[in-house]
Amino acid sequence: MRVTQGTFSFLPDFTDQQIHEQVQYCIDNGWAVSIEYTDDPHPRNTYWEMWGHPMFDNPDAAAVVYELNECRKIYGSYYIRIIAFDSSPGWESIRLSFIVNRPSEEPGFKLSRTEVKGRNIQYSITPYSSDNPQGSRYK
Amino acid sequence: MENEGQEKDSEIVTEVNLKEDFQASGVADILSELDNSLIGLTPVKTRIKETASLLLVDKAREKLGLVNESPTLHMSFSGNPGTGKTTVALKMANLLFRLGYVRKGHLVTVTRDDLVGQYIGHTAPKTKEVLKKAMGGVLFIDEAYYLYRPENERDYGQEAIEILLQVMENNRDDLVVILAGYKDKMDKFFESNPGFRSRIAHHIDFPDYSNNELLEIAEVMVASMNYQFNEESKKAMAEYIKIRKKQPHFANARSIRNAIDRARLRQANRVFNNSKGPIGASFLSQIEDIDIRQSRVFSGGIDK
């Protein structure tokens, strides 16, 4: 099951050239771009691991694509996303976030229903991959 | 990128107008600016013009589908201090930007300190940080030979060189590296790092300025600061240049700039001490020969 999170997630995966152009758009708007990775695709897993520092002072997107490829060398089987932070007052948050790398196989999520008081149902989802400990979830 | 290329090929482009391309790219402006704003340096200007036409023709060939590999643009500027290497590098960055070989055209100037770390594991991130900052533009490494210190085999400079070489090769489309420094030291540096020599296509030598050129530079500098020479002070300046040139630590245009700065200091002192009543702008901006002749250079000393 294909994980869809962030912007562009219903589009086919971007090529490096397309990533470059999106990142250049962010940089031209004055947003700080950074790279993050994780092997826990749960939608409530908000804070992923940072790959290096946010890149504040690179005028060209080639730097981000370069770092992305460095990250892929080590975490090529993880989810990697690019986020753009807008520091302008009144916003001070993420403007754009999109996945740029995903595992070759995505087993999806397990939906469990728990019957509670009054025959109400509580739902929860768990990624199948998180049965394994961190670091050995994706090949 | 590849798709774009194919689309362009399918358009029927059978001829290009080099003159039009030349005008449209704005390269003409930069070249004429180079001619006008820099005094002397004829061989440098010629080389830059040649490079510019080569790059322009390459672009035109690409349009016609005569594909050739993207050219190596890394350069080395060798010459004595104060011969205009940084200034030319700045112009070069602009030129490459106008020709479409770099995307942003900014210049990042670094020396050994900015690339080499102080402890194990510090160098690689530091060098990469600088390289990333320079992507889309030009990285200017001043006194590049200090990166390589053969006398200390544990020096971290070697690590910086390796990363530099790797990025110069793999990210050729992303940045252009210009190495600069004294001629003899640069030659030695290239001898001991053959990897660099082969990756650098353009070696440009910056000659020293002649006395007349230095005087011309002095006049331009003085004018740009809104001061002026008269006949006597001009003569004094010419003599100053002649003597200063023979002394050690002569740094061409930079020495001239320093000499002028000191002359301004003396001029200000003189004006202040002699002023009894209201004075005009011409008095305030006049550099007299006495302002120059007070320099230690005339009495056998050295101006630093």
For residue B183 the two structure tokens come to: 């001629």
Confidence of residue B272 (pLDDT cuts 50, 70, 90): confident
What integer best gives the mean pLDDT of chain B?
A: 85
Among the residue ranges A17-26, B18-27, B140-149, the one predicted with the least confidence is B18-27
| Whole-number Å distance between alpha carbons of B114 and B127 | 7
Q: Which of A16-20, A110-114, B29-33, B291-295 has the lowest mean pLDDT?
A: B29-33
* pLDDT value for B6: 47
CA-nearest residue of chain B to A54?
A: B129
A41 contacts A106 by C-beta, under 8 angstroms = yes
- How would residue B251 be classed by pLDDT, with cut points 50, 70 and 90? confident
Q: Given CB atoms, is A92 within the 8 Å cutoff of chain B?
A: no
Q: How confident is the model at residue B193 (pLDDT cuts 50, 70, 90)?
A: confident
A35 touching B (Cβ < 8 Å):
no
Burial of A7 (0-12, 13-18, 19+ CB in 10 A): middle
Interchain contact, B132 vs A61, CB within 8 Å? no
Is the predicted pLDDT of residue B127 greater than 90, yes or no?
Answer: yes
A93 pLDDT above the threshold of 50: yes
pLDDT in tens, B53-76: 888 888 888 888 887 777 788 999
Report the relative pairing of strands A32-38 and A79-86 from DSSP bridges: antiparallel
pLDDT score, position B24: 77
**Cβ within 8 Å, pair A60-B171:** no
Q: Is the predicted pLDDT of residue B163 greater than 50, yes or no?
A: yes
Nearest beta carbon to residue A57 from set B1, B133, B175: B133
- Residue from B186, B184, B120, B185 nearest B158 by CA: B120
pLDDT at B95: 87
- pLDDT tens-digit map of B198-235: 888 888 999 999 999 999 999 888 988 899 888 888 89
Residue B12: pLDDT band with limits 50, 70, 90: low
Q: Under a CB-based contact definition with an 8 Å cutoff, are residues B267 and B212 in contact?
A: no
Q: In the prediction, which pLDDT does B9 show?
A: 47
- Most A CBs within 10 Å, among B1, B126, B130, B135, to test the A interface: B135
Q: By the CB < 8 Å criterion, does A26 face chain B?
A: no
| Residue reference for tokens 């120059």 | B292
Confidence category of residue B11, pLDDT binned at 50, 70, 90:
low
- Nearest by CB to A66, from B103, B106, B132: name it: B132
Q: Which of B20, B89, B83, B22 is nearest to B209 (CA)?
A: B83
Most confident of B43-47, B64-68, B150-154: B43-47
Q: Answer whether residue B7 shows pLDDT above 60.
A: no
**Segment among B64-68, B95-99, B120-124 with least mean pLDDT:** B64-68
